[in-house]
A = this chain, B = another copy of it.
Amino acid sequence: MGDAAMVPDRARRVTVYDVAARAGVSIATVSFAFRRPDEVRAATREAVLTAARELGYAPSGSARGLVSRRTGSLGLHSFDMLIERPQDEEAPEGAAVDADLDLSADTLPWAALGDDVHSDPLAYPLYVDEIQRGFELEARRRGHNVLLSSGGRSTADVADTAGRVDGLAVFPSIVARESLAHITQTIPVVLFSSPIASADGYHRVLVDNVQGMQDLVAHLVQDHQITDLAFVGGPAAADYAERFAGMQSAMRRFGLTPASEPLDSSLLGDTRPLARVRELAIAGALPRALICASDQLALFTFEILRSVGSRVPEDVVVTGFDGVLASRLSVPRLTTVRQPMEAMGRVAAQLLANAAGAPPQMPRTLRLGTQLRIGQSCGCP
């Protein structure tokens, strides 16, 4: 049909060639004008910059990354399961989160937006959010962008992400370790809160769960004279096992004999979590204190107990671990062990930024301190 050659084809992105043509110089000069401005005559530079501006030129990150062999980004990968929000299961009333919003009209009434999601402040923010925040902060400080990715557990998904970043931090996942196993040869990888393995190639950032539990147990035993403690949470999860072990050793230190198994091995993802706790609560057979593996588990325990008429802390003492925002807003306020989550993110980013580009280094495991945070759920006034 008509000759389209006269119409600037804006489906193609503007390149150095376009800028060079417009400014009447070579592509090398265009590149120089941006990367080494003072090695180019002022007038030439201006001409190039002007042409670039007029054309809306943005240098291709892909091309730059290809030649420089670095992307300038640090990745933060979550496996899908972590992304789904707890509320998603309960059928949302308004617009479903997994449906497209209808953008055909220019005005979207409130009712079409499904904003109920955050109606419960206790559900927000979670563990990952705070770590992510620290990671962003530190990456930015060091001149890196942050690439947020997620995906299934397949090696391909992870490798895809790995190919886009100079370093990768990964939230814990039971399956993470295998699918990542080999990419540590390629880029530095940090695992958060992942139990230490013999000698794989991962860097690790985790908290001192054992010391944290020690502090918590010491408070309960010494300040509240509680000797009857039981653990809630399945040791299958990331570092819950460490916390359980920490509790056991702390109890022994006080001359107590810990159970060899958790009282209830639930994980929050289970179909009917904390069933055992509920049973025992109904039977009036709970121990004096429930040491929960995480804040979320502890807050859910609150609900279970409330539903069967048990009071915290009068009938049962409940503690958590993490120190998420929600734990400070609950009634009673949760006694818990605060993880320095922002610092975890920052440490990870710093580790990656340092290691990026260099040949694989001796993987490091950094362990961060925690702090006991006393609320009322332990019986303190």
Contact = CB atoms under 8 A, between A and B. Distances in A.
Contacts of A147: 73, 145-148
A255 interface: no
Interface stretch (A134-142, A226-234, A259-267): A134-142
A81 interface: no
Nearest to A367: B107
A308 interface: no
B60 A370 contact: no
Contacts of A369: 107-113
A310 interface: no
B150 A140 contact: yes
Interface residues of A, number: 97
A237 interface: no
A117 interface: yes
A185 B10 contact: yes
A58 B149 CA distance: 15
A276 interface: no
Interface of A, helix, strand, loop or mixed by DSSP:
mixed
Interface stretch (A216-224, A314-322, A342-350): A342-350
A55 B118 CA distance: 44
A110 B340 contact: yes
A214 interface: no
A1 interface: no
Contacts of A98: 141
B65 A371 contact: no
A106 B367 contact: yes
Given A83-B140, A343-B101, A163 B367 contact: no
Interface of A: 10-14, 34, 53-66, 69, 71-73, 83, 97-98, 100-101, 103, 106-115, 117-118, 121, 124-125, 129-130, 136-137, 140-141, 145-150, 155-156, 159-165, 182-187, 208, 325, 328-329, 338, 340, 342-343, 346-347, 350-351, 354, 357-360, 364-371
Given A72-B164, A145-B147, 11 more contacts: A14-B186, A53-B182, A58-B186, A101-B350, A106-B367, A108-B347, A118-B342, A125-B125, A125-B129, A136-B148, A145-B164
